[in-house]
Amino acid sequence: MSVPSTPTERPPHGRATGAWAVVAVLLGLGIVVPLLVPLYDSETPTLWGFPFYYWFQFALIPVVSLFTYIAFRISLTATRKDRPVYGLPPEPDADGGDRS
């Protein structure tokens, strides 16, 4: 006889684990790269008179923003795939609650 699954058990299949791994990598890059100061701790090359140290950090802002946006879009798709695995509808109600 099969034991009914409880809400705390994870389903053996059907989850979008690969998508969540991509989300984690994209967000992790946005956190770790700015912390690696030796990577960009130099004055050369300069860009419009700005040392590399400064313009690299400014360049990271749109790059990390793009990574975050991509991670968000992937997470929406992964959530839409994961919800039916847990017995939820693919989309929540407009008021934010789940349809029962």
Question: Among residues 90, 82, 88, which one has the least CA distance to residue 10?
Answer: 82
Length of the chain: 100
Domain positions in the chain are 23-83
Instruction: Check residue 1 and give its pLDDT.
Output: 43
Instruction: Check residue 100 and give its pLDDT.
Output: 55
- For 56-67, the pLDDT digits (tens) are 999 999 999 999
- Residue given tokens 């407009």 in the structure block: 94
Question: Among residues 19, 26, 23, which one has the least CA distance to residue 81?
Answer: 19
Contact 58, 48 (CB under 8 A): no
- Helix (H) and strand (E) counts for the chain? 3, 0
When pLDDT is averaged across residues 4-23 and rounded to a whole number, the result is 70
Instruction: Check residue 92 and give its pLDDT.
Output: 74
